[in-house]
């Protein structure tokens, strides 16, 4: 797996000056080191061989919910396999984990993967007077109980991943 830190530093837990500089400058958060270590351990297991060619981008943590943004090597990785990876990482890290594929870098695909098994009715783009944009992800009211975390947590995570304000609306 391609990660922003050196694999030796992550596996040993002792960071070289370059890796320590990335952590100190908040390019990489300290909790991400444990996430990278868990991913490096899992890539040697037979079920998760696809992780060897994957690229790690970011982890966003909000409360007891962690979202991993990784780019998978090809489209042969099924949602079922990602769900299995979610469960393994949840056991290793002790928090609820959701893995999101960055291959299609648009808000709709990221939102779909994040709120699954809930459905997304649509996404509205709201242009604000100050020139910024806000996205509104619409979810059917009947599916709101299937959300993996609370609306506020998902909004915070999506806002951090996308870089623009995101709101969830149940209809």
Residue 125 backbone dihedrals phi, psi, to 5 degrees: -110, 125
C-alpha–C-alpha distance, residues 43 and 45, integer Å: 6
C-alpha–C-alpha distance, residues 31 and 5, integer Å: 13
Tell me, what's the pLDDT at 125? 94
Looking at the DSSP bridge assignments, the partners of residue 124 are 136
Tell me, what's the pLDDT at 75? 65
Split at pLDDT 50, 70, 90, the class of 162 is confident
Dump strand ranges (E) for 72-164: 96-101, 122-127, 133-139
Tell me, what's the pLDDT at 145? 92
Tell me, what's the pLDDT at 157? 92
Tell me, what's the pLDDT at 161? 87
What are the structural domain ranges in the chain? 1-103, 104-171
Residue 134 backbone dihedrals phi, psi, to 5 degrees: -130, 135
Looking at the DSSP bridge assignments, the partners of residue 136 are 124, 167
94-144 per-position pLDDT tens digit? 999 999 888 777 888 899 989 988 999 999 999 999 989 999 999 999 999
Q: Strand 96-101 and strand 133-139: pairing?
A: unpaired
Question: Is 111 within 8 Å of 61 (Cβ atoms)?
Answer: no
61-100 per-position pLDDT tens digit? 988 899 999 988 776 677 788 889 899 999 999 999 999 8
The CATH number of 104-171 is 3.30.300.20
Tell me, what's the pLDDT at 103? 76
Same fold, 1-103 and 104-171: yes
Q: Assign domain 1-103 to a CATH class.
A: alpha beta
């Amino acid at each position: 797996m391609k990660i922003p830190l050196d694999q030796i530093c992550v596996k040993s837990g002792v960071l070289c000056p370059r890796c320590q500089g990335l952590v100190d400058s908040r390019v990489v958060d300290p909790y991400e080191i444990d996430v990278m270590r868990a991913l490096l351990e899992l890539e040697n297991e037979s079920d998760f061989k696809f992780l060897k060619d994957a690229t790690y981008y970011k982890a966003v943590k909000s409360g007891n919910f962690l979202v991993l943004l990784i780019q998978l090597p090809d489209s042969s990785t099924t949602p079922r396999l990602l769900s299995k990876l979610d469960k393994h990482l949840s056991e290793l890290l002790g928090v609820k984990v959701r893995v999101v594929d960055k291959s299609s870098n648009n808000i709709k695909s990221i939102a779909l993967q994040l709120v699954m098994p809930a459905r997304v009715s649509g996404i509205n783009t709201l242009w604000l007077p100050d020139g910024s944009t806000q996205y509104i992800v619409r979810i059917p009211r009947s599916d709101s109980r299937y959300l993996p975390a609370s609306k506020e947590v998902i909004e915070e995570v999506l806002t951090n991943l996308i870089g623009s304000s995101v709101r969830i609306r149940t209809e």
